[in-house]
Amino acid sequence: MNSVLDQFNNYLLSKNLRKSPIREKIIIEIFKIHEHFHIQDLLQKLKKYKDVSRATVFRTIQLLIEASLVRKITNTHGHVHYEHSKGQQLHDHLVCLQCGKEIEINCQILEKEQNKLCKEKKFIPVNHNLQIFGYCQNCQNKEQ
């Protein structure tokens, strides 16, 4: 956790922004979550701190995205969720068009091919978001 805070504080310094105890509380709560989360889930967890405002949470999330510590994911329905990127393998998602369920997939072959493609095109990737759309097993079974 200290390395995450150090990385974020260094990012803030590079942007001439100040670190604050409130931002630290937000980061600690985010990195306790080990799955995708919605902003409402995070706000609920932060209710125990009286000094954390909704606006501060949104601003801090944006700073964490800019610092490459959090990823923002928007699905086909326009729903946004987040995940922290520290200590997590890059992964992709299978998204059900009927129920919206997202299934994480870790495929080293896909990752290698994406990296190979970027190298061939002399492109430096910063982040990626691969989503494969279809129907989950539950929704397939409901159709039968």
Statement: residue 76 has pLDDT above 70: no
* pLDDT tens digits, one per residue of 51-61: 889 999 999 99
Statement: residue 87 has pLDDT above 60: no
Statement: residue 144 has pLDDT above 70: no
**Mean pLDDT value of segment 132-138:** 92
* Higher-scoring residue by pLDDT: 90, 3: 3
Share of the chain above pLDDT 90, in %: 40
**Mean pLDDT value of segment 43-72:** 91
What residues form DSSP beta bridges with 92? 105
* Domains of the chain (ranges, CATH numbers): 1-88 (1.10.10.10), 90-144 (3.30.1490.190)
- For 83: left if phi > 0, alpha if psi spans -120 to 50, otherwise beta; the answer is beta
> What is the pLDDT of the chain when averaged over all its residues?
87
Looking at residue 63, its pLDDT comes to 94
Statement: residue 135 has pLDDT above 70: yes
Looking at residue 119, its pLDDT comes to 95
Cβ contact 52:25 at 8 Å: yes
Cβ contact 113:134 at 8 Å: no
